Structures are given as structure tokens and as C-alpha cells.
Amino acid sequence: MSKLLLKPRGNSGQVHHVTPESAGWTYVGFDLHVMDVGEVVSGTTGNREICVVFVSGKGKASVDGKSFGELGERMSPFEGKPWSIYIPAESQWKVTATTDVTLAVCSAPGVAGNWPARVISPADAEGLTRGKGSNVRHVVNILPETADADSLLVVEVITPGGHTSSYPPHKHDQDNLPHESLLEETYYHRVNPPQGFGFQRVYTDDRSLDEAMAVEDGDVTLVPRGYHPVAATHGYDLYYLNVMAGPKRVWKFHNAPEHEWLLK
């Protein structure tokens, strides 16, 4: 199995734990918690900022003792936009599940005092549709570069069955602005219905990295560099939550030149 493909560690508790050290990179971290009613997840951000995303379910949240009340609305990632919380560096936070909850914790380097903790409601998260024909996909910008944060970029995408996404293939692995930015990236995949699967390829121009992976419900893929297109198989919609971060908080990608004709 590819080292870029991470399977969930069980069906409950902390089922994914990606750190810069475990991924072999510098910026992005990702944790995924599957919680029963009444369970609590808490932490201290240290020198990192986080974005907590309610992938599904509801919970009561607090940051540094300040209550944000009960957050969450959808009971599946395929049902509308999420509720999320931005939490700055050097903060303590806690979420108590009031229903069964799937909670994503996205992290990257942060600086204490730059931004306050805040709720990102579904109304705050811009939704848009990209692509044409079988390249149509539906995007929700949870923490785009226009929103206040130090390093993190967070977005989720639903790709209908039979469609492609992150396509035409693009990459963002060079610190070469204004042409391209360097951003590490994780994908957290969900499939509807859950017995389905999709595909993701991660590859470089010289093919020194070239991995093709079948992704199933709950998998995480790592994109340290290179192009990273996704395909949803017929009959199965594919959701993914992206976390990106790098030396500059700008998403500027480079399309694979041999496939740019698809945009014309």
C-alpha cells in the first residue's frame, strides 16, 4: 500500500493522527475524531493554529473557557455546509459531543494574539461550483486565503459520481510566487454510499513520485508534492476535506501543461 494512503485506525476515538513529523513535511497536521454522545475531545494548540470542522453531528464547544454553545447541523458531510471554529495558537479548547460526531482538527503553524477564536457558520463559508460536464464539483471555502488566519487553508469538496476533481491535474509545490505557491496538503475522503471507492493519483513531472490509490470511506491521502487529481466512480459521490499550509498563505497552483487544453 502506498505510504501516501492512510487507513482509519478503527471506528471510534482518534482514527487519524497526521503530524508534520509523521508525514515527513513541515506545516500541515490533521486529526480525525469519531465521538459518541457525551464524549469529550480537548487540547492545547501550542505554537499552532487549528480549524475544528464538524464533519457531521453536533457538539458544545469552548475556547479558553469561553462557550460557543452547541455547534453543528448536518448529520452527514453530504448534507449542506459545515460548522467550524478557528482557534489561534496558545489556546485551550474543548468539544463535547451532543450527538454522534465526526470532528476534524486541521492544524498549521500559528502566532498567538494575531486573531481571535471565532465560529465559522455555514453562512460564513462560501459555496461555489467549479468545472463543466463531468468535471463539475461543489466547493465550500471554510478558511480561504481571504479569511483571517496565519497559515491554514481549509476547504471541502463534493465530487458527484462519475466526475473528476482537482482536475485538470494541478500542483502547488514550488515557492515561486506569483506563479506558484508551496503548499502541503491532506485529503480526508468520504464516500456516499459508504461501500464505494474513488481514485487519487499523486505524481510529479519526472515521475520520481507516481502513486495511484483507491480511496475508500474514511481514508486520508497525503500530497507532499506533485499533481493530485481525484476521480469519483459511477454511483458513488465523493467528499473530501482539504487542509493546506506552506511558507506563504496563498493558493496559487500550476496546471499540468499537457492537460490545460481541457480548460479551453
CA triple 187-192-195, angle to 5 deg:
95
Average pLDDT on 103-119 reads 97
Distance of CA 182 to the CA centre of its chain: 16
**Side chain identity at 238, as an amino acid letter?**
L
Share of the chain above pLDDT 70, in %: 100
Residue 49 lies in a domain: yes
**Confidence (pLDDT) at 163:** 98
Give the range of the structural domain holding residue 230, as residue numbers without chain letter: 9-263
**Confidence (pLDDT) at 152:** 98
Which residues fall within 8 angstroms of residue 156, CB to CB, at 6 or more apart? Answer: 53, 77, 82, 139, 140, 142, 239, 240, 241, 242
Residue 176: how many other CB atoms lie within 10 Å: 12
Domain CATH code at residue 24: 2.60.120.10
**Confidence (pLDDT) at 264:** 85
* Confidence class for position 242, pLDDT limits 50, 70, 90: very high
Residue 247: how many other CB atoms lie within 10 Å: 14
Residue with cell 483507491: 214
Number of domain units in the chain:
1
When the pLDDT of each residue in the chain is averaged and rounded to a whole number, the result is: 97
Residue 2 lies in a domain: no
Residue 185 lies in a domain: yes
Average pLDDT on 183-191 reads 98
Strands (E), 7-111: 13-18, 29-35, 40-44, 48-56, 59-63, 66-71, 84-87, 92-97, 101-109
Residue 207 lies in a domain: yes
Q: How far apart are CA 86 and CA 16, in angstroms?
A: 20
Give Cα separations from 217 to 6, 19, 197, 252 (angstroms): 11, 21, 7, 29
Q: How far apart are CA 118 and CA 83, in angstroms?
A: 11
122-172 pLDDT, tens digit per residue, is 999 999 999 999 999 999 999 999 999 999 999 999 999 999 999 999 999
pTM of the model: 0.97
pLDDT at 121 over 90: yes
Average pLDDT on 16-21 reads 98
Residue 4 lies in a domain: no
Residue 3 lies in a domain: no
